Structure 1
Amino acid sequence: MLDKFDLNILSALQKNGRLSNKELAESIGLSTAPCWRRLKHLEDEGYIKGYTAELNAKKVHLNVIAFAQVSMDNHHTETLTPFLSIVNDCPEIQECHSVSGDCDFMLKIITRDLDSYDELLSKKLLQAKGVRSVNTMFSMKQPKISREFPLSTLLITEHS
C-alpha cells in the first residue's frame, strides 16, 4: 500500500523526472536517506517503470496524430497474434487498447504527414489477417495532453 510520502514522490517525479534525490526529498518533506530508500523501493516494485524525455512532436516533424478504431473478424489467437505483432513492430503506433464497444482495438498513431499515415494503414494495418475495418479520426488540436496520473485523488479516497 502506498502512503502519503510514496504518492508525493511519484507525483513530484511525474512533474520533473530529473529531480535530484536532494531536491525530491526537500519537496516532499523527508531527509535524503529515507527518500532514496523509498524511491528505490518504488522502482524495484515496478511503480516507476522508467525515465524518459518528453519530446515536442512538431519539432521532430511528427505532425499527424490519429486514433484508429480497428474491428477484427474474430478474437481467435491465430488472428490476434499476427495483428498484435504488427502493432508492436510499428513505432508509429504509440498505444494500443483493447476496448469495449463498436470496435475491438483503439490505436493512437503519430506520423510525419497524411501520406505516411496512409502508407501505414494500407501496407500494414489493412493487410493484417483478420482486420475487418479501420475507422480513423484525426486530432485537429490538443487542448490538453497529460501523462500524469491523478495521484492526489488516491490520497482523498484513502482517508475519506
Structure 2
Amino acid sequence: MSLDRVDSEILGALQEDGRLSNRDLAEKVSLSNAPCWRRVKRLEEDGYIKGYAAIINSDKIGLKICAFAEVTLDNHHPDTVADFLAMVNRCPEILECHAVSGGCDYLLKMLAKDMEAYQEFLTQNILNHKGVHNANTLFSMKQQKVSVEIPLDL
C-alpha cells in the first residue's frame, strides 16, 4: 500500500498528538469520522503505525545518565549474534540497539540513574557477556534534540 496525501496528514497529526480523538483527527484531515477511523485502522494493520506511547521525561524519574556504548563482538557467528541480541532484548536499560558500520558492531543507547548504576550494568551485562570483545562508552553531556516524529515529506 502506498500513502496518499490524507494518509500522510493522518500520520503527521497522530505524531504531533497521539491522543487525538477520532473526531478531532477527522476534522483535522477533513474527513468524516467513519472513513478516518477506517484509514487509521488500515495504517495500523499495515504496520505504518506501530503503536502509541507517552513520552516520559527520564530526568523526572531519576534516570540522569544517558550513555551510548559502542560494542564489538568477538565474532559474527550467528549464535554469538543471537545470544548478544537476546541479552539486549532482556535489558530495559537498553533503549535502542543498532547494528552499525565502522569500528564497532553495535551502538546501544542506555539510561541509568547514576554513574555507579551504569558501571554496574555495563560490567554485569555487557562486558561479562560471552561474545563481547569490547565496549566503549560515550556519555551525553547535554541533550540537544530528541524527536520521535518521522519526517513524512522526504
* 2:60 is equivalent to residue 54 of structure 1: no
Q: TM-score, normalised by structure 2?
A: 0.96
Kindly, what percent of the aligned residue pairs are identical? 55
User: How many angstroms apart in 1 are the aligned matches of 2:67 and 2:38?
Assistant: 41
User: How many angstroms apart in 2 are the aligned matches of 1:86 and 1:114?
Assistant: 21
Q: What's the counterpart of residue 145 of structure 1?
A: 146
For 1:26-64, what per-residue CA distance to the aligned partner results, in whole angstroms no more than 9, with x for missing partners?
Answer: 111111111111001001111111111111111110110
Following TM superposition, by how much is the alpha carbon of 1:23 offset from its aligned partner in structure 2, in angstroms?
A: 0.6
For 1:56-111, what per-residue CA distance to the aligned partner results, in whole angstroms no more than 9, with x for missing partners?
Answer: 11111011000000011111022112211111111000000001111000000011
User: How many angstroms apart in 2 are the aligned matches of 1:144 and 1:121?
Assistant: 25
Q: TM-score, normalised by structure 1?
A: 0.93
User: How many angstroms apart in 2 are the aligned matches of 1:56 and 1:120?
Assistant: 21
Q: What's the counterpart of residue 134 of structure 2?
A: 133
> RMSD of the alignment, in Å?
0.8
Q: What's the counterpart of residue 26 of structure 1?
A: 27
What SS does structure 1 have at the residue aligned with 2:66?
Answer: strand
For 1:93-148, what per-residue CA distance to the aligned partner results, in whole angstroms no more than 9, with x for missing partners?
Answer: 00000011110000000111111110111111011111111010000111210000
* 2:10 is equivalent to residue 9 of structure 1: yes
Q: What's the counterpart of residue 158 of structure 1?
A: none
Mapping for residues 97-108 of structure 1, pairs under 5 Å: 97-108=98-109
User: How many angstroms apart in 2 are the aligned matches of 1:98 and 1:144?
Assistant: 22
Count of residues in correspondence between the two structures: 153
Mapping for residues 45-124 of structure 1, pairs under 5 Å: 45-124=46-125
What SS does structure 2 have at the residue aligned with 1:147?
Answer: coil
Q: Which amino acid aligns with 1:96?
A: C
User: How many angstroms apart in 2 are the aligned matches of 1:29 and 1:107?
Assistant: 41
Q: Unpaired segments of 5 or more residues in structure 1?
A: 154-160
User: How many angstroms apart in 2 are the aligned matches of 1:43 and 1:82?
Assistant: 31
Q: Unpaired segments of 5 or more residues in structure 2?
A: none
